Amino acid sequence: MTPDRAVSLIQERFGREAAGEGRYLIVEELPLERWEEFFTFARDTLGCRFFSFLTAVDWKEQGLEVVCRVENLEAGVGILAKTKLGPDAQCPSLTGIYRGADWMERECYDMFGVRFSGHPDLRRILLSQDWEGYPLRKDYAVDTPHAPYR
Amino acid sequence: MADTEARKVIELGYGGNERLVMNMGPQHPSAHGVFRMILTLEGETIAAIDSVIGYLHRCHEKLGETLTYAQYPSIASKTDYVAAMTSELTYVLAAEKIGKIEVPKRAQHLRVLVAELQRIASHCLWLGTWCLDLGGALGGGATVFLYCFREREMILDLFEALTGARLLYGFHQVGGTRYDLPEGWAKRCRDTVGQIDQRIDEYESMLETNTAFLWRAQGVGVISKELAQEVGIAGPLLRGSGVDFDIRRNDPYSSYQDFDFEIPVETAGDCYARYRVRMQEFRESIKIVRQVLDGLPEGPISSRPGLKSVGQVRIPKGEAYARVEGPRGEVGCYLIADGGPKPYRMKWRGASFSNLSILPHIVPGHKVADVVAIMGSVDPVFGEVDR
């Protein structure tokens, strides 16, 4: 597997341009319903077995976007893929493909309120279970008062 | 009666057939911070583990959106406070990547120098505390701990002379470094690494001839090559599981390609393999430090000297993922800039967070005492886990 080959394979199968080079390929706006399919393909066909991170970005009116990065360590191919979520903030879980997605998706749920369907244990991970709101959303003010400490 | 119920659980649990839930932490000395494990035991064997993290959560990612590119680097050092140089460097690399900002060669080499000294200091802390956790097995336990702290102290003295701070440095800034080497520092540094080099041999002979140490480390907490990659653990853990990958060589940043060093790899995947990888990394870091001191280029230490106002660093619209090989593995910063003085979004990929998430996959099946050995070999820093 080479970066060029990865670019053409992604183009062929998903019709998406992978911008960037080598370890920093970026695939924008994957359709949400092909999110799992893409990562199964990345793992099995592109050999990206290393799970780097998963997070989200709040684009205000345009909604939330989930970002995930995986890498083929030997061949030097890294892929950062993105998908836009609908207003319900639902996203298919990648836990069945990468076991490392477990904690990352929990953190993403904790901070952005993204609901990963198919996640076996979707609880808050860094904040307490009774926390209100999702701190990394842009409409969550930095000085939001804390609930009284119990 | 509640008492009778409790007694029943304890008696049956002790018998080995029934399950007993045991709490470990958040203030357990082996947690190296604040970390709670809820262990489900069958006798003394662990059947399941639930990890509770977040006690040190400060929401660095939100904080990063409220501070400018000049302000945040000194705060970044508070994510992984045991290797503050690494996290600062990651952030400024990401900003420089978006802004396509050149860094003078001297600054790049200084960055390598402090990063490697930091790795030695961090590994000293890891070795000392891990051996303290293994406790009685090492004939008193605190011996190695105190030796390691003695060595770490020497490096902190060097950092103090360089930056004025011993733990959180504020050394890196966008475009270069903030400080140059003071008079006589290079010689002092050379002497220090020379001493540490000899003492590594002492540690090795103390530990590797100790049967109790070997029993507690060998064959414990085995991580397979496949699992390691799938969970995304990095650094010495990944290389201890036989994956030959180091960002310094495979994806060089800050002129690492100018230096000559080996990447230690072990295939066993157990606590002992991780120990071996780190012990060899000590020596490789010392090697790099000496090379930097030998060939340090002259010139400016920053391409943006004399910044007087924090608003002066402007990064154009764009995004980048920058990462460095920290003492604990891949520390990454995914930065999105919108052209303003502050980032639009900043994501920390904390190496300790990913490394710690391996626990539920490897701990079940081990005895309670092994949890301590495994935790220590993972070397988590909770400032970085919780961010």
Share of chain B above pLDDT 70, in %: 91
State how far residue A110 is from chain B, nearest Cα, in angstroms.
11
Q: What is the pLDDT of residue B339?
A: 85
Instruction: Find the helix packing angle between B105-134 and B185-208, rounded to 10°.
Output: 30
Q: What is the pLDDT of residue B306?
A: 64
State how far residue A26 is from chain B, nearest Cα, in angstroms.
10
DSSP H or E segment with residue B244: none
- Burial class of residue A147 (count of CB atoms within 10 Å of its CB; 0-12, 13-18, 19+): exposed
Mutate to test the interface with B, among A126, A134, A149 (most CBs of B within 10 A): A126
**pLDDT (tens digit per residue) in B349-363:** 989 999 999 998 998
Q: What is the pLDDT of residue B94?
A: 92
**pLDDT (tens digit per residue) in B238-282:** 999 999 999 998 889 888 988 999 999 999 889 999 999 999 999
Share of chain B above pLDDT 90, in %: 27
DSSP character for B151?
H
DSSP character for B32?
S
**pLDDT (tens digit per residue) in B137-188:** 565 567 788 888 899 999 999 999 999 888 888 888 888 888 889 989 999 9
Provide the token pair at B193.
């690494």
How far the first Cα of chain B sits from its last, in Å, is 43
Q: What is the pLDDT of residue B15?
A: 47
Q: What is the pLDDT of residue B307?
A: 63
Distance CA(B144)–CA(A106), nearest Å, equals: 38
Count of beta carbons in the 10 Å neighbourhood of residue B194: 11
Provide the token pair at B278.
């780190």
Contact B345 A57 (CB under 8 A): yes
**pLDDT (tens digit per residue) in B100-145:** 888 899 999 999 999 999 999 999 999 888 888 887 556 556 778 8
Mean pLDDT of the residues in chain B: 86
Contact B53 A51 (CB under 8 A): no
Per-residue confidence at B1, pLDDT binned at 50, 70, 90? very low
Query: Got the DSSP string for A72-137?
Result: ETTTTEEEEEEEE--TT-EEE--TTT-TTHHHHHHHHHHHH--EEET-TT---SSS-TT--S-TTS
Chain B residue with the nearest C-alpha to that of A60: B344
Distance CA(A110)–CA(B329), nearest Å, equals: 24
Which chain B residues are within 8 Å of A74, Cβ to Cβ?
A: 245
Provide the token pair at A93.
């879980």
Whether B226 contacts chain A with CB within 8 A: yes
Contact A136 B229 (CB under 8 A): no
ipTM (interface predicted TM): 0.87
- With contact defined as beta carbons under 8 Å apart, do B277 and B264 qualify? yes
| Block residue for tokens 């929401």 | B59
Per-residue confidence at B16, pLDDT binned at 50, 70, 90? very low
Whether A28 contacts chain B with CB within 8 A: no
SS3 B25: coil
State how far residue B244 is from chain A, nearest Cα, in angstroms.
8
Whether A9 contacts chain B with CB within 8 A: no
Residue A114, sorted as left (phi over 0), alpha (psi -120 to 50) or beta, turns out to be beta
Which chain A residues are within 8 Å of B336, Cβ to Cβ?
A: 57
SS3 A19: strand
pLDDT for A36 beyond 70: yes
Share of chain A above pLDDT 70, in %: 97
Whether B230 contacts chain A with CB within 8 A: yes
Sign of CA dihedral B239, B244, B250, B254: positive
Mutate to test the interface with B, among A24, A44, A50, A80 (most CBs of B within 10 A): A50
Query: Got the DSSP string for B56-98?
Result: T---HHHHHHHS-TTTHHHHHTTTSTTSHHHHHHHHHHHHHHH
State how far residue A33 is from chain B, nearest Cα, in angstroms.
22
Q: What is the pLDDT of residue B26?
A: 81
Per-residue confidence at B193, pLDDT binned at 50, 70, 90? very high
Query: Got the DSSP string for B304-364?
Result: STT--SGGG----SEEEEEEEEETTEEEEEEEEE-SSSSEEEEEEE-HHHHHHTTHHHHST
Strands A77-84 and A24-30: parallel
Per-residue confidence at B207, pLDDT binned at 50, 70, 90? confident
Is-cis flag, bond preceding B26, omega within 30?
yes
Q: Which residues are paired to A26 by β-bridges? A: A19, A80
Q: What is the pLDDT of residue B305?
A: 66
If you count residue pairs, one on A and one on B, with CB atoms under 8 Å apart, how many are there?
A: 78
Nearest CA among B304, B288, B306 for reference residue B296: B288
Which strands sit side by side in the sheet containing B318-326, from one edge to the other?
B318-326, B329-337, B343-349
Contact B231 A99 (CB under 8 A): yes
Residue type, B24: M
Sign of CA dihedral B160, B387, B23, B361: negative
Chain A residue with the nearest C-alpha to that of B350: A53
Strands A64-72 and A18-21: unpaired
Contact A58 B345 (CB under 8 A): yes
Contact A125 B227 (CB under 8 A): no
Contact A125 B54 (CB under 8 A): yes
Is the full-model pTM beyond 0.90? no
pLDDT for A18 beyond 90: no
Contact B54 A127 (CB under 8 A): yes
- With contact defined as beta carbons under 8 Å apart, do B59 and B69 qualify? no
Contact A98 B250 (CB under 8 A): no
**pLDDT (tens digit per residue) in A37-95:** 999 999 998 888 999 999 999 998 888 999 999 999 888 889 999 999 888 888 999 99
Whether B91 contacts chain A with CB within 8 A: no
- With contact defined as beta carbons under 8 Å apart, do B223 and B240 qualify? yes
Whether A57 contacts chain B with CB within 8 A: yes
Sign of CA dihedral B154, B158, B252, A105: positive
| Block residue for tokens 């970044």 | B76
Nearest CA among B346, B292, B364 for reference residue A136: B346
**pLDDT (tens digit per residue) in B227-250:** 998 898 988 999 999 999 999 988
Which chain A residues are within 8 Å of B332, Cβ to Cβ?
A: 52-53
Range 62-91 of A in CB contact (< 8 A) with B = 67, 69, 73-74, 76, 80
Per-residue confidence at B7, pLDDT binned at 50, 70, 90? low
Q: What is the pLDDT of residue B147?
A: 86
DSSP character for B139?
S
Chain B residue with the nearest C-alpha to that of A99: B231
Contact B229 A51 (CB under 8 A): yes
Q: What is the pLDDT of residue A51?
A: 92
The size of chain A, in residues, is 150
Full set of structural domains in chain A with CATH: 3-117 (3.30.460.80)
Which chain B residues are within 8 Å of A58, Cβ to Cβ?
A: 345
Q: What is the pLDDT of residue B159?
A: 92
B31 or B240: which leads in pLDDT: B240
Q: What is the pLDDT of residue B130?
A: 87
User: Which string of b and e fits A77-111 if b means at least 16 CB within 10 Å?
Assistant: bbbbbbbbbeeebebbbbbebbbbbbbbbbbbbbb
Dmax of chain B from CA atoms?
78
Mutate to test the interface with B, among A39, A65, A99 (most CBs of B within 10 A): A99
Whether A52 contacts chain B with CB within 8 A: yes
Q: Which residues are paired to B50 by β-bridges? A: B38
Sign of CA dihedral A7, B226, A92, A54: negative
